[in-house]
Structure 1
Amino acid sequence: MSASVPIAKPAAAGPVGRSRHDRAYLAAGILVALAVILPLASLLVIALSGSAANWPHIAQSILPQASRVTLLLMLGVAILSGTVGVLTAWLVATFDFPGRRLFAWALVLPLAVPTYIAAYCFVEFLHFTGPVQTGLRALFGFETRRDYWFPDVRSLGGAVVILSSVLYPYVFLTVRMVFLMQGRKAADVARTLGASRARVFFRVLLPMARPAIAVGVTLALMEAVNDIGAVEFLGVRTLTFAVYSTWLNRGDLEGATQIALLMLSVIVALVAIERFARRRQRFTLHRADRPRAGRERLGGGRAWLATVACLLPIASGFGIPAVVLGAFAMRRLDQAADPQLWRALLHTVAIAGAAGAVTVAAAFVMAYGIRLTHSKRLATLARIGALGYAVPGTVLAIGILVPLAAFDNALDAAMRASFGVSTGLLLSGSGFAIVYACFVRFMAMGHGSVESGFAKLSSHFDMAARTLGRGPGGTLREVLLPLMRPAVLTAFLLVFVDASKELSATILLRPFDFETLATFVYASASRSAFEDGALAALLIVLVGILPVILLTRSLTEAVSEEVH
């Protein structure tokens, strides 16, 4: 009874304080949600304000083919990336074989390789003059291309293989955590009952991992649909390419936004299907049920087969780009003295760092507001804010450019009329537009990581701090924030890696004479001189490797804390 006295005092004074903080965090949540909704609302206004005269041409000549290609690309990437991600996650989490410790983090390295760079490298590696076909001709005595058949990399099938090679880690990361935290105990029980490895995998582990598979495949598909650099280079005409071409090549902004809204509806439907698929898939792990520490050791041919199965995705998604970029970069070391290259590197790190900081800060405000107020309205706004990840970069650029340009023009007119001073393109003509695009698009990543971090902290921390006289701000600053550092670091690294690779939105929103490493590489490839951008491409990969390794270690430590 005596323990209830100090708890009751803060509760008595709580309503006023909670009401004030409720309003503050609700207002902050509304601002964040509005910042995300603004580009979508802009797209809707532009699409409705346009003339319908061009729509018959778009509907008959562009949409059918682009939609068919996009759906086939999504289907292929879903199957291939899902298969590779699940298989490698199962092997690394369940068995012990040569190289397993190395593969546990090396299988994530392809995340550091942007899709457009992977496309350039695959084409060079598998080209007629590349090492593969050159070796085949030397081995079998072929002299011309007519003497043998070789698959065309610049095709829809080639795009599926290339995109899956660098996107499967999304599935690997999510599924591996499930297998580590939940799967091994269930597998032990099934094996005790006499089930074979295959039966355990298909009847126990695979159904248990369905929610994680759905999340990982959805992330991979969103990245595939968003891609513009790889599909354009490979000659695959997707809906994203149709948006880009309709706007810039045909000068039809309204038609481009109409296609963009169609894309957005497809992505939203994809997210809804993913949520529906895992609506009842809930598994919990109690400390008393934590899995055993050991893994089943494979021997003989099975061990080496598992090693090869894990080695092939790494060689494909990371090895081929590393070899091609390294060879090209060695021939163009003179570019190391090019100041434009280092300015592009500085711009890339600055944009990615700013986007990571802004996104994580906004996500933290949203997640802590939900924890503090338990407001359903704020939780709904957070889900709306996460919708930005469903918007491809090219689509997002259109929705951002128009309102920012309107604001710049209105401000410039007002300053001219009042003070005779021109402010120019203050927002749309600066790096702010790129940071804003990254913030809107990657908000889901930041919020998801921060929210999961808060979910692991018991509400007793908050109550204990309030009992000792700390308000919500003091509780956050002195208690929760130190405990949230791993989750915050994970959120920042996720946003930083993706923002450093961002191309589709950057192409359209960058200021004049503003280059990032991504646009530097894209410009070289557009001139059919990819070798000139090899050093920049290698720098992109190097910039992403360290965050990817840190991210893998952070996630592994988080899983270890859960299961031990």
Structure 2
Amino acid sequence: MSVLNALPTRAESETPRPLRVEWHAIGIIALCIFLIIPILGILFGSMAPSEGSWDHLVSTVLWDYVLNTLGLLLIVAVLTSTMGTGAAWLVAVTDFPGRRIFEWLLVLPVAAPAYIIAYVYTDLLEFAGPVQTWIRDVTGWGASDYWFPPIRSLPGAGVMLALVLYPYVYLLARSSFLNQSRTRFAAARSLGASPLRAFWRVALPSAKAAILGGMALAMMETAADFGVADYFGVTTFSTGIYRAWYGLGDPVSSLRLAGLLLVIVAILLMIERAARNDSDAPAIARDSLSPPMKLGPVLSIGAMIGCAIPILFGFLIPVLRLIWLALEADGVRSVSQFVIFARNSFSLSIGTALIALLLALFLAYAQRSRTRADRLPVSVAATRLATLGYALPGTLLAVGLLLPLTSFDKILSSWVENQFGLGLGLILTGSVFALIYAYVIRFLTVAYNTVEPAVGAIPTSMDEAARTLGSRTWRIVSKVHFPGLRPALYSAALLVFIDTMRELPATLLLRPFNFETLATRVYRLASDERLAEASTAALALVVIGLIPVLLLNKVSKRH
């Protein structure tokens, strides 16, 4: 009888429970709305009527934008997959002299922004450059006696981008090859398959997901590129958006081009997501006792040459040329201006890194606060949308922000003028706030993807033990969590800092008047064919970009 009395009645069991306010979910949704404003700006702004420029663009250059963008993506996909996969296979599976050194040297080209590589090779390979001048001096040929491939072309732009983007494929493919079973490859060889056939039929299919993922990342960076395409005169969506806004003065056409670019980016995201889902399948166990395949003398020389070519052309030659130009340039005269540009870059980068780090921590802890089963689908979806920014090109972010910020400035200025009789003008548009806003949207993903695994790895039992000892939440975070999170926090802040230093298109579109960073300084001087004066700032960006590369190599050695 006591048991029956203890059971709830039907009326009690059907009484609805009071709804709890999910503050974490509300915060994530609010942050998501704040961060997807550029996409909303593009969608709503592109629906506005155009003044005729759009019809002109459609009939003249739109197909050039489509074909050149797709052609550039194709060239980069082919070259990065070839260089990255080949180099990854050599250093992961085979044994040849210098393999350990090549293993980390192959990552160096990603430290150099693509537009700087483009400036250097244009200076080297153009008609008046040292390479063609040397050819004419040695052979005695005239300008009409020989043919030299034009560097400022669509293939030239694809090669420049591939030289600095192949490490995306290399890193993922190397990790996949290292986790494959070498005995399967040896079994294929024992059955009479040649090394090339065994690689093609056994090793490559197992690494397909990693290679496709790396290709998708490289292609997203290609779609976001502005500096190389603009300098080489290749009309892509990224350059078309910029020219429609500033050249034609037609924001609607610019927003419509941004919408088409957004479709391309969405397709690339689907490819990257599909590759990631495929990579979640159980991996083949690594044979820890199986040594790398020893190569003979001829093949060893071929492997060394194959690994040295990307390093030589993607890093060593550009850096040595920049050093040569910097030593020739009059650096003393422009040192005061260089300090100003460096100060602007550092201030923006530090501010962006701190804000992105705080938002990443908020998102990570909001996801950690609930078990996987109790997480609201809307909060999970909002978190994915909030961390979508890294896939969005800088030009797309900039034009997507300009319209909402301008509209807000007009409303605020009109209200202040009506209430107080003061003319404020534009407050947010063309300000440092707009720049940092765009940077945070674009690079929050970098911070979140670095911080979230570290936060999720903290066991809840540590929190419970600390609470039993009387510790409050803030003390638990500062004394228990922070020591373990410190490496991830430093890495996230550093990566966001360096990405912000190198960002070019968003800075060009959103910067305040007469405000320059190291990236815009390099772009402006190189566009005026003054690469020697730009060499100091360009070299500084390359050296700063080396920091995460060296840290990445250090972390990879630990694993």
Bin for the TM-score computed over the shorter chain:
0.7 to 0.9
Selected match of 1:291 from 276, 288, 292: 288
Deviation at 1:385, TM superposition (A): 1.6
Partner Cα separation in structure 2 for residue 41 and residue 236 of structure 1:
28
| Candidates 203, 223, 226, aligned match of 1:225 | 223
Q: How does 1:39-438 map to 2 (within 5 A)?
A: 39-51=38-50, 53-139=52-138, 141-180=139-178, 182-183=179-180, 186-192=181-187, 194=190, 197-284=195-282, 291-292=288-289, 294-335=291-332, 337-373=334-370, 374=372, 375=375, 376-418=377-419, 425-438=426-439
Question: Which amino acid is 2:27 matched to?
Answer: A
Equivalent AA in structure 1 for residue 118 of structure 2:
A
Shift of 1:499: 1.5
Paired residues of 2:121 and 2:318 also in contact (CA < 8 A): yes
Comparing 422-431 and 389-398, the one that deviates more: 422-431
Q: CA RMSD in A?
A: 2.7
- Structure 2 CA distance for aligned equivalents of residues 295 and 60 of structure 1: 57
* Aligned residue number for residue 508 of structure 2: 507
1:524 and 1:256, CA in 2 relative to 1: closer, same or farther beyond 3 A? same
Q: Deviations over 1:537-562 (max 9, x none)?
A: 111112212232123323443xx1xx
Q: How much does 1:415 deviate?
A: 4.3
- For 1:191, the aligned partner's letter is A
Higher share in helix:
1
Q: 1:150 to 1:222 in 2, by over 3 A?
A: same
CA distance in 2, matches of 1:219, 1:336: 41
- 2:32 touches 2:385 (CA, 8 Å); kept in 1? yes
Are the equivalent residues in 1 in contact too, given 2:216–2:271 (CA < 8 A)? no
Does the 8 Å contact 1:355/1:499 carry over to 2?
A: yes
Choose 372-381 or 243-252, whichever is displaced more: 372-381
Q: Hey, what does 1:491 align to over in structure 2?
A: 492
**SS at the partner of 2:148?**
coil
SS at match of 1:206: helix
Question: For structure 1, which segment, 151-160 or 208-217, has the greater mean C-alpha deviation from structure 2 after superposition?
Answer: 208-217
Q: Describe the shift of the 1:56–1:410 C-alpha distance in structure 2 as closer, same or farther (beyond 3 A).
A: closer
1:251-273 C-alpha deviation (Å, 9 max, x unpaired): 11101101110110111022113
CA change 1:293–1:535 in 2 (3 A) is farther
Q: Give secondary structure in 2 for the equivalent of 1:49.
A: coil
Alpha-carbon distance change, 52 to 276 in structure 1, aligned in 2, over 3 angstroms: farther
Q: Which runs of 4+ in 1 moved over 6 A?
A: none
Aligned residues: 534
Query: What residue identity is the alignment partner of 1:178?
Result: S
For residues 191 and 469 of structure 1, what CA distance do their matches in structure 2 show? Answer: 59
Q: Is the 8 A contact 1:494 1:551 kept in 2?
A: no
SS in 1 for 2:36: helix
Aligned match of 1:440: 441
Tell me, in whole angstroms, the C-alpha distance in 2 between the residues paired with 1:212 and 1:457: 28
**Aligned residues of 1:490 and 1:554 also touching (Cα < 8 A):** no
Q: Are 2:183 and 2:290, in contact at CA under 8 Å, matched by a contact in 1?
A: no
Once the two structures are superposed, what CA deviation does each residue of 1:190-232 show, in whole Å capped at 9, x if it has no partner?
4256366434533333223222222221221111111111111
Per the alignment, do residues 213 and 452 of structure 1 end up closer, same or farther by CA in structure 2, a change over 3 Å counting? farther
Cα distance change of structure 1 residues 200 and 470 upon mapping to structure 2, 3 Å threshold: farther
Once the two structures are TM-superposed, the CA of residue 293 in structure 1 deviates from its matched residue by 8.3
Equivalent residues of 2:438, 2:506 under 8 A apart: yes
Per the TM alignment, residue 50 of structure 1 is displaced from its structure 2 partner at its CA by 2.8
Q: Aligned pair 1:552/2:553, yes or no? A: yes
Structure 2 length as normaliser, TM-score?
Answer: 0.88
Aligned-residue offset at 1:468: 5.8
Which residue matches 2:518? 517
Contact between 2:322 and 2:538, CA under 8 Å: does it hold in 1? yes
**Distance in 2 between residues matched to 1:521 and 1:240, nearest whole Å:** 19
Aligned equivalents of 1:443, 1:555: Cα separation in 2: 23
Structure 1 residues 291, 341: closer, same or farther in 2, change over 3 A? Answer: same
Deviation at 1:421, TM superposition (A): 5.6
2:76 maps to amino acid: V
Q: How far apart, in 2, do the equivalents of 1:474 and 1:315 lie?
A: 51
**Cα displacement (A) at 1:294:** 4.8
Distance 2:90 2:34 in 1: 42
Q: Distance in 2 between matches of 1:80 and 1:283?
A: 27
2:248 is paired with a residue of what secondary structure? coil
Partners of 1:237 and 1:316 in 2: how far apart? 25
Residue pair 1:187, 1:200 contacting (<8 A) in 2 also? no
Query: Aligned letter for 1:75?
Result: L
> Does the CA contact (< 8 Å) of 2:126 and 2:132 recur in 1?
yes
Q: Distance in 2 between matches of 1:210 and 1:461?
A: 39
| Displacement of 1:491 | 2.6
CA–CA separation in structure 2 for the residues paired with 1:481 and 1:406:
41
Work out the CA distance in 1 between the residues paired with 2:331 and 2:346. Answer: 22
Classify 1:477/1:297 alpha carbon distance in 2 versus 1 (closer, same or farther; 3 Å): farther
Structure 1 stretch displaced more, 226-235 or 201-210: 201-210
Deviation at 1:98, TM superposition (A): 2.3
Map Cα deviations across residues 341-389 of structure 1 (whole Å, 9 max, x no partner).
1111111122222222222321222122212223232221121122222
Deviations 1:489-526 (A, max 9, x none): 33333322221111101001111121101111111122
Gaps of 5+ in 2: 1-18
Q: Which residue number corresponds to residue 3 of structure 1?
A: none
Q: Does structure 2 retain, via aligned residues, the 8 Å contact 1:125–1:320?
A: no
* Whole-angstrom CA distance in 2 between matches of 1:335 and 1:348: 20
- Per the TM alignment, residue 485 of structure 1 is displaced from its structure 2 partner at its CA by 3.0
**Higher Rg:** 2
- Counterparts of 1:52 and 1:427, CA distance in 2: 26
Task: Report the residue type matching 1:316 in the other structure.
Answer: F
| DSSP 3-state at the match of 1:513 | coil
Identity of aligned residues (%): 37
The aligned residue for residue 4 of structure 1 is none
Compared with structure 1, are the counterparts of its residues 290 and 302 closer, same or farther at alpha carbon in structure 2 (3 Å cutoff)? closer
Paired residues of 1:113 and 1:166 also in contact (CA < 8 A): yes
Cα offset, 1:297, TM superposition: 3.6
Query: Residue 8 of structure 2 corresponds to which residue in structure 1?
Result: none
Q: Following the alignment from structure 2 to structure 1, what is the Cα–Cα distance between the partners of residues 292 and 299?
A: 15
Distance 1:544 1:25 in 2: 35
Deviations 1:444-494 (A, max 9, x none): 222222234345555655565566666665554443433233333333333
Q: Secondary structure at the match of 1:48?
A: coil
Query: Distance in 1 between the 2:313 and 2:79 partners?
Result: 13
Looking at structure 2, the residues matched to 486 and 178 of structure 1 have their Cα atoms a distance apart, in angstroms, of 25
If the length of structure 1 is used for normalisation, what is the TM-score? 0.87
Decide whether the 8 Å contact of 1:240 with 1:394 is kept in 2.
yes
Corresponding residue for residue 4 of structure 2 = none
- Given that residues 405 and 425 in structure 1 are in contact (C-alpha distance below 8 angstroms), is that contact kept between their aligned partners in structure 2? yes
Q: Structure 1 unaligned segments of length 5 or more: list them.
A: 1-18
Counterpart of 1:57, as a letter, is: H
Relative to structure 2, which stretch is displaced further, 306-315 or 545-554? 545-554
